[in-house]
Amino acid sequence: DVKVTQSSRYLVKRTGEKVFLECVQDMDHENMFWYRQDPGLGLRLIYFSYDVKMKEKGDIPEGYSVSREKKERFSLILESASTNQTSMYLCASSHGQGYTFGSGTRLTVV
Amino acid sequence: GENVEQHPSTLSVQEGDSAVIKCTYSDSASNYFPWYKQELGKRPQLIIDIRSNVGEKKDQRIAVTLNKTAKHFSLHITETQPEDSAVYFCAARGNTGTASKLTFGTGTRLQVTL
């Protein structure tokens, strides 16, 4: 089974902090994604990457950046955390069609 | 870009009854439609998917239908059981060329009561 591992299950950060969310997959997938999940809004795409050092904006990229220096690792960066970025963050990887998701990181910004 | 609408947002059925969740999409070039189930506190998991060259697909108690002309697809669960209680998400993949990105619906919370 493909494993997608997110480094933290829960995080609490202060407003203005720089926050790093890490995601690692072990199946050599080309494509990796970051979504945020909010009640009533479903899963919204923040950024995705289809190759090392390649990245594309999703539907809600404002306030976020990403890094993909190695194929297996895709990092989401909150440059200056704000309270409206309190959410569940889900990483996913894909070889073609369906996704495999990580367990999620619940981030609270206070 | 693609837009996916999902209804209803909540659905309560009695054990043994059927449940139907409906989604519509906007991009006529979309060609792949997966459904994910997310149990409380867990990650979304793929339960069934359908490609645009197929009208219906079935896997035991779950089935998905696709109407390309109307741009809608539906999830059907028969003989529902308490373990079917979860949030279900539909998704669509546009034919944009890069990374197979999915656009998700807003989710349906299914409650199966005894």
Digit-coded pLDDT (tens) for B32-61: 999 999 999 999 999 999 998 889 999 999
Q: Which residues on neighbouring strands pair with residue B72, listed in sequence order?
A: B24, B67
Whether the per-residue pLDDT at A89 is higher than 60: the answer is yes
Mean pLDDT value across chain B: 93
- For A40, the closest chain B residue by CA position comes to B106
pLDDT band for B97, please (50, 70, 90 cuts).
low
Note the pLDDT of residue B32: 92
Percentage of chain A lying above the pLDDT 90 cut: 85
Min Cα distance B60 → chain A (Å) is 20
User: Among A47-61, B5-19, B87-101, where is mean pLDDT lowest?
Assistant: B87-101
Overall residue count recorded for chain B in this entry: 114
Instruction: Please report the residues numbered 2 through 21 in chain B whose beta carbons come closer than 8 angstroms to any beta carbon of chain A.
Output: 6, 9
The pLDDT value recorded for residue B101 is: 87
Interface test mutation site (partner B, options A10, A43, A90, max chain B beta carbons within 10 A)? A43
* Cβ–Cβ contact B93 with A under 8 A: yes
Looking at residue B66, its pLDDT comes to 96
Question: Cβ neighbours of residue B93 under 8 Å, at least 6 residues apart?
Answer: A97, B2, B30, B31, B32, B33, B34, B100, B101, B102, B103
Instruction: Give the model's confidence band at B19: pLDDT under 50 very low, under 70 low, under 90 confident, else very high.
Output: very high
CA distance B114 to chain A (A): 26
Comparing alpha-carbon positions, the chain A residue that sits nearest to B35 is A98
Smallest CA-to-CA distance from A81 within A14, A11, A12 is with A14
Looking only at the bridges linking them, the beta strands covering A105-109 and A10-13 are: parallel
Query: Nearest Cα to B96, choosing from B35, B31, B50?
Result: B31
Q: State the nearest Cα–Cα gap between B1 and chain A, in angstroms.
A: 9
Give the H/E segment covering residue B74. strand B72-77
Judge: B44–A101 Cβ closer than 8 Å, yes or no: yes
Interval A5-15: pLDDT, tens: 998 999 999 99
Closest CA to B109 of B5, B8, B4: B8
The set of residues, in sequence order, having a beta carbon less than 8 Å from that of B106 and lying 6+ positions away, is A40, A41, A42, B5, B6, B9
User: Which of A83, A85, A91, A65 has the alpha carbon at shortest distance from A7?
Assistant: A91
